[in-house]
Every structure is written in C-alpha cells, then in structure tokens.
Amino acid sequence: MKQRTPLVSHIFTADPSAHVFDDKIYVYPSHDLAHDGEDNDDGDEYQMEDYHILSMDNLDEETPCVDNGEALHMKDIPWVSKQMWAPDVAKKGDKYYLYYPARDKDGIFRLGVAVGDKPEGPFKAEADYMKGSMSIDPAVLADDDGKYYCYNGGLWGGQLEKWQTGEYVENPAEIPADADSLGPFVAELTDDMLQFKETPKMIKILDENGEPIKAGDEDRRYFEGPWMHKYNGLYYLSYSTGTTHYLCYATGTDPMGPFTYRGRLMEPVLGWTTHHSIIEYHGKWYLFYHDCELSNGINHRRNVKFTEIEYNEDGTMKTIFPYDHLDK
C-alpha cells in the first residue's frame, strides 16, 4: 500500500510526528498559516501559532483522518513570542507530553512542554521553557529500558549554529566546509518528563571510515528534523539535509551516538523543507512526511502524507521516490 495523498486539506499541516497509542494512529504536525510574506533563510515565512492533532483508526486509504481541533495555542503560553514550529509527543504512565519549539521574548528558540490526559489533547503548557533548551524540532524516543531521550536542533532559522560555544551567539562565524558538521542535540529527560537530566550534548554523525561528516558535505550532513526509532535492536537516526532536500539516516548502538551514515531514506519532495517521522503499525513500517502539493509549491503551505517503508536484509532502508507512482 502506497498512500501519498494529503491526510487533510482544510488546513495546511507539516512536520508530522506520528505515534501509535492504543492501536490508533495520532499525528502531531505543525499548522502552517496562509499569508503573503516572503521566504528567507531565517524561516520568517513559517508563522505557526497553534497545534491541531490528527488521528486515524487505521491506515487504509478510505479511512478518514480526523482533525481533533486546537490542542494548544501560543496565547496560552507566557514565555512564547511567536513561531510554534514542529512538535512531538511522548506518553508516560497515563499522561501525554507535548514538546514544541518557539521563540521566547528575546527571539531565541527554546523548547517547551505541555501536559495532557488524552493523546488528542487539550494540552496545558508549563509556564516557562525547559531549562538549557535551545533550537528547534524536538523528537522524543521512549526506549525499551524505560528511559526517554529528547533530540532536537536545526540550522539557520533554527539557530543551531548560534550555540556552538554552549552560549547563544547572535552572529557566529561561518562554519568552514572542512569543519565537522553540527549534529542534533540529545539529552535524557527527567522522570517527570519536564526537564533535561543533563546538559544536552551534540551527536556526531560519522562516515563509512569513522570520520565525522563535514559541514560542506550537504548531501549527507545534518540540517534539521531529527527522528529516532529502533529496528532489530539498532538505533536509527533520520534527518533532513536541508539545502539538498534529502531525508538521510544513520545507525548506532547507543541512543546518544555516535551514528554512522547509511544512506538516503527519501528523495526530495515538492517544496523546500523535508521533515518526517517513522512508526511501526501492525507489523509494517511507515514514513510520515510533508510536501507542498495542495499549494502548488508554496513553502509555508504544506500538507502531511505517509507511505510505507521497506528494509533490506542487512538493515538498510530502501530509498523512497515520493512521486514514482505518477509514472506508473
């Protein structure tokens, strides 16, 4: 089954974080607002203000995807000034924890957390952002041993390069092409799921020779949108290369890295950004992603889709060509 039609069309959705709770699929996307602003490298065109959680009873093509309404809005979060971008959700006990990035009153991206009793919300936000948080695109792994890890980070508009010294630097020096590329941050979460247990560390992504991938290697280097899943006991870190518009992945034996580059998960889609998630459902694996089909290519008017993932016998993932069905 190759489902590549938008899940919903009445609103623009992007950056889908998909999960299975009680045998039902929930998708936590960002909510693109239609406007006529210009695109730029700081991402000012992405003016999202709230979250709508989508849900489906199964992944059959005829099954409708339900919009469960507004689950959280920036007006209800004291520290947020604008731009609530790509979120994720984790479940622990009988509570659901929504992790999201937004700019604080100084214009710096931080991560916040909101708590709910149901997977579709509503969610009540903590009054302040997570201590020590920075940048964008949180993704949380619930590991088999009961530990929870938060991954995040994005270049340019996501401000990742501004944190190279451990402190926020508004105008950092340009990273040389032969320097080690930046990676996402990772930190284990506290038992109450509201803070980091430790200072987040930056993950290294290595090439086939065990050397760090370089900043100038735009076909393979990390840009944004981390996602972590496990397959046959191995950790898979997948991410977007940004400028070259690939989804790539790397594998490792430790949730905190390092990870070794293994290949491309998906070729470019219509639109600039690529952001995704991966779930297992009824014995099959699925990729949730977005493109700009509904808006005919307007970068900040995106729509969420999904398609099936296939693994090779050696654990590598078969590359997905998102529009190959159009040639058949």
Query: Does residue 35 contact residue 49 with C-beta atoms inside 8 Å?
Result: no
The tokens for 195 are 């803070």
- Residue from 32, 120, 224, 293 carrying the catalytic annotation: 224
Is 15 noted as a catalytic residue in this protein?
yes
State residue 302 phi and psi, 5-degree precision.
-105, 170
The tokens for 306 are 């999904």
Length of the chain: 328
**CA atoms within 13 Å, Cβ hemisphere of 235:** 21
Is 267 noted as a catalytic residue in this protein?
no
Closest to 83 in 3D by CA, of 125, 122, 51, 38: 51
| CA-to-CA separations, 131 to 5, 88, 106, 200, in angstroms, rounded | 39, 18, 15, 10
Q: Is 156 helix (H, G, I), strand (E, B) or coil?
A: helix
Query: Does residue 252 contact residue 259 with C-beta atoms inside 8 Å?
Result: yes
- Residue from 15, 32, 45, 120 carrying the catalytic annotation: 15
Residues carrying an active site annotation: 15, 224
